[in-house]
Structure 1
Amino acid sequence: MSLPASIEKPLARFFDYMIRERGLSRHTENNYRQQLTASAEFLVGAGVTKWQDVDAAWVRQIAAQAKRERLKAGSIALRLSALRSFFDFMVSDGALAANPAKGVAAPKQGRTLPKNLDVDEVNQLLSVDADDPLSVRDRAMMELMYGAGLRLSELIGLNVRDVAMRKGDLRVIGKGDKERVVPFTGMAKEWLFNWLKVRNQLLKGPEDALFLSKLGNRISPRSVQKRMAEWGQKQAVSSHINPHKLRHSFATHMLESSGDLRAVQELLGHADLSTTQVYTHLDFQHLAKVYDAAHPRARKRKNDD
């Protein structure tokens, strides 16, 4: 659809601003362009000829139209986010007095639960024949992610000085630059020790990183993801392997064994307990068993029966 200049020119200025002033990526700019163009075409088709005529009711109609087009909640939220950013730009540019999209709420998005490996799949994955430094490194990384529940960013951010082998703990910098100390033991400790014995074989010069690439630098997130996916295929694990799945498996197995939600929250570095509850996706039967075993009134009822 051909857009009138009064609609198109402000969009062009906004896209130019996005790239030059805010330094956003082409990918983000393309997403915003797609969402704002769709909104503009809807408005023009409905008879709107300039952005100054758009109020909150029009923004709600844009969201309703997106829903009629069967867009997912995340896509509708992105469309509204793009509109808010664009109208903020218009306000700062003096073209609008207020942002009409500010008070329009995006639809609630369901939280997708990550899937975990069962214990047998973890054992299958980690039965790695480590006969070279790279294999030793990979097994140490996987053992540590599963053994300590680390995020990918936390794993690659580890330095040698962050490891206390005797005490069996790691100094980790998590989200928001928050520091926490996490324990590690058993196979994670054993394979981290094995890796430290061969780490110098990959070391090319001064480098603090605990885990190194074959070039001797700090290993990248993409390399870790790629190597773990390859090991999943080599070990014939049925599901796709990625770092987050190992962290989630750690959380799930710890919670199933201990039932201690607060402790798992601390180990994962979650600021909010609700994040841990969703993350570990306990099924209702397990919750019911915990309730029946722990709640005084539940125990009393069973005794009375």
Structure 2
Amino acid sequence: MPQPDYITQFCDYLASEKRFSIHTVSNYHRDLTDFRDFMATTYNLPPENARPPLIRSWLASLKERDMEATSINRKISALKSFYKFLLKRQLILKNPSAGIVSLKQKKRLPSFVEETQIMPVLDRSHFPDGIEGSTRFLAITLLYITGVRVSELTGIKEQDIDYASAIIRIIGKGNKQRNVPLTPQTILQIRSYIAEKRKEFENQTAFLLVNKKGNPLTRGMVYNIVKQELSTVTTLKKKSPHVLRHSFATHLSNHGAGINEIKELLGHASLASTQVYTHTAIARLKEIYQKAHPKG
């Protein structure tokens, strides 16, 4: 008799009831499948029959693969959520992950692009003419001007723009909604883009950003755009949409924005996630002090 696929049931629950993004659900599925494969290969047991020593054995195998603590902790988090799901539905009697603790992580300041460096990619003339160039320009602009995540960017629809109030409605993690202000210039850029899109394509999509064929822009396309464009202005090793999100928050902090305000704009669930930008601002102040002070 085939074993029930509890991992698929759990991921379906995350997608339908918790309203997690496709990307997040995919990560959960991949992490849990990795654990299931380990259990099957090493112990010939399904995940629901795991015990704490077996889970620790799996974590040890991940360390042997030189996996970073952040990645291992993500897998631990996925496993804990999975077993809570099974326990709540009385599919297991005891949670084997209850005593498993996350690994200590080195605190790393987020990578960001300097304000002077980012300015060229916020200029339309930096990009080629035509709808493809316009899409690249607006994608970069919105990532930096609003600080949205890549999944939030690709989910923006034309109806999410409130021109009268100059705000954009963002649907974030867990289907939570937040409103982010737009500058008058960005409003004009969005209007211009939509008008160009109307002329270019007969069949219109509800999504704001489209590719050269008029289809909604994908996460992969955004990653490629950001990597290519940031390569022209910075030597940062990491060039991803999240770097622009970090740049947005760091520049706000450097110009005096409060941590609570930055938290709301980023859509963070807790201040702990936002606290890193305070450290970034302090590090920047120390750097300026050491360069400028006669005794520095």
Q: Which residue of 2 aligns with 1:32?
A: 35
Q: Which residue of 1 aligns with 2:273?
A: 275
Partner Cα distance (1:243, 1:68) in 2: 28
Distance verdict in 2 for CA 1:212–1:105, change over 3 Å: same
Partner Cα distance (1:179, 1:231) in 2: 29
Distance verdict in 2 for CA 1:19–1:99, change over 3 Å: closer
Q: Which residue of 1 aligns with 2:235?
A: 238
SS of structure 2 residue aligned to 1:172: strand
Q: Is the 8 A contact 2:146 2:180 kept in 1?
A: yes
Partner Cα distance (1:54, 1:195) in 2: 54
Q: Is the 8 A contact 2:135 2:211 kept in 1?
A: no
Q: Which residue of 2 aligns with 1:62?
A: 57
Count, aligned residues: 266
Partner Cα distance (1:107, 1:74) in 2: 8
Distance verdict in 2 for CA 1:84–1:283, change over 3 Å: closer
Structure with larger Rg: 1
Distance verdict in 2 for CA 1:202–1:232, change over 3 Å: farther
Deviation at 1:271, TM superposition (A): 2.5
Between 1 and 2, higher relative CO (CA 8 Å, sep ≥ 6) is seen in 2
Query: Alpha-carbon deviations, 1:34-63, whole Å to 9, x = none?
Result: 54257639xxxxxxx9x9x9865x458637
Partner Cα distance (1:18, 1:168) in 2: 45
TM-score by length of 2: 0.69
Query: Alpha-carbon deviations, 1:58-83, whole Å to 9, x = none?
Result: 45863785598476435655379659
Deviation at 1:99, TM superposition (A): 4.3
Partner Cα distance (1:196, 1:228) in 2: 21
Worse-matched range after superposition: 105-114 or 140-149: 105-114
Q: Which residue of 2 aligns with 1:120?
A: 116
Distance verdict in 2 for CA 1:13–1:21, change over 3 Å: farther
- Please provide the CA RMSD for this pair: 4.2
Query: Alpha-carbon deviations, 1:146-167, whole Å to 9, x = none?
Result: 1121222222222222223354
Partner Cα distance (1:136, 1:250) in 2: 21
Partner Cα distance (1:102, 1:191) in 2: 51
- Displaced runs of 4+ in structure 1, greater than 6 A? 23-26, 86-90
Deviation at 1:194, TM superposition (A): 2.7
Deviation at 1:220, TM superposition (A): 1.6
Worse-matched range after superposition: 80-89 or 112-121: 80-89
Which amino acid is 2:171 matched to? Answer: I
Q: Is the 8 A contact 1:146 1:250 kept in 2?
A: yes
SS of structure 2 residue aligned to 1:171: strand
Q: Which residue of 1 aligns with 2:160?
A: 162
Q: Which residue of 2 aligns with 1:177?
A: 175
Gaps of 5+ in 2: 13-25, 288-296
Partner Cα distance (2:63, 2:134) in 1: 53
Q: Which residue of 2 aligns with 1:147?
A: 145
